[in-house]
Structure 1
Amino acid sequence: MRLLLLSDTHLPKRAKALPAPLLDELPRADVVIHAGDWVDTATLDLLESRSRRLLAVYGNNDGPDLRARLPEVACADLGGLRFGVVHETGPAQGREARCAARFPDLDVLVFGHSHIPWDTTAPGGLRLLNPGSPTDRRRQPHCTYLTAEVDDGRLTDVVLHRLPPR
């Protein structure tokens, strides 16, 4: 099972559209995971129409229209792993322990908010992934997103993709 992970698209505030390399990944993904801060409903409509399956949440910059369509936390069994998605996880310091305590039944937690790519494993085994942002790099050197594979109950081939500057 191929996953495409993204967050913090902030369209059209930070960019006019999702980058072409990211859009090219959509047909290859079995599941698209978006960890919030869409800002516009058009991006949600696009991903809903072009994704086989979408697992998504709203973020702190998302208004009532998006909050009416998306949960604050989403969970799903994907390929034998229990995934969770949330926008905010709080400060980097203590994140692993805090998330492991909040989500004790998950194998993988995808989050956003910081625009900073993150890939760590908490004591107890919870894998935490932040794909960064494909449209707003903030203080990061690149805009980014993640792809991953789920194979026989294992998360494999987690790859951070750096997008070319616009």
Structure 2
Amino acid sequence: MNLLLTTDTHVPRRARLLPDELLGAIGAADVVFHAGDWVDEATLDLLAARSRRLVAVYGNNDGPALRARLPEVARAEVAGVRFAVVHETGQARGREERCEQLFADTDVLVFGHSHIPWDTTTAGGLRLLNPGSPTDRRRQPDCTYMTAVATAGALTEVVLHRLPRRGGS
């Protein structure tokens, strides 16, 4: 199963549109994970329409309308891999231990909020993935998203994709 991981799209606050490369990758994915901070319902509707399966949560910048449509934490099993999705995990220091306790029944935790790509595995085997942001790089060199493959209970081919810079990034 081909996966796409994204978060912190912030449309239309940080970008007017999602990058074409991201939209194309969404169409190629079997499952799309979005870890919150959509900002507008139109982006949720767009991803829901283009995705075969969307697993998504709301973030701290998402208002009542998005919160009414999305959970704070989402869970899904894909090809035998147990996923959880949440927007915020707190400060980087102690993240692995904190998340390992909170998501003990999970193989992979997809999160956002910081706009900083993150890929670590805890001592207990929980994989933590933050795909960064495809529209708001903040202090990062590039806007980013991730792809991966889930098969036979394993997550493989995790790739951080760097998007070309556009004006105002």
User: Is TM more than 0.5 here?
Assistant: yes
CA distance in 2, matches of 1:42, 1:118: 27
Residue 142 of structure 2: aligned partner: 142
CA distance in 2, matches of 1:64, 1:26: 26
Residue 93 of structure 2: aligned partner: 93
1:114 aligns with 2:142: no
**Residues 67-115 of structure 1, C-alpha deviation per residue, up to 9 Å, x if partnerless?**
0000000001111011000000000010000000001000000000000
Please show how residues 17-166 of structure 1 align to structure 2 within 5 Å: 17-166=17-166
- TM score, norm. by length of structure 2: 0.98
**Residues 123-150 of structure 1, C-alpha deviation per residue, up to 9 Å, x if partnerless?**
1100000000000000000000000001
Code of the residue aligned with 2:25 in structure 1: it is E
Question: Considering only aligned residues, what root-mean-square deviation do their CA atoms show, in Å?
Answer: 0.4
Code of the residue aligned with 1:90 in structure 2: it is G
Report SS of the residue matched to 2:45. Answer: helix
**Residues 39-72 of structure 1, C-alpha deviation per residue, up to 9 Å, x if partnerless?**
0000000001110000000000000000000000
Report SS of the residue matched to 1:97. Answer: helix
Displacement of 1:27 in angstroms is 1.7
Unaligned runs of 5+ in 2: none
Displacement of 1:151 in angstroms is 1.4
Report SS of the residue matched to 2:66. Answer: helix
CA distance in 1, matches of 2:153, 2:28: 20
Code of the residue aligned with 1:109 in structure 2: it is L
Q: Which runs of 4+ in 1 moved over 2 A?
A: none
Question: Percent identical across equivalent pairs?
Answer: 73
Unaligned runs of 5+ in 1: none
- TM score, norm. by length of structure 1: 0.99
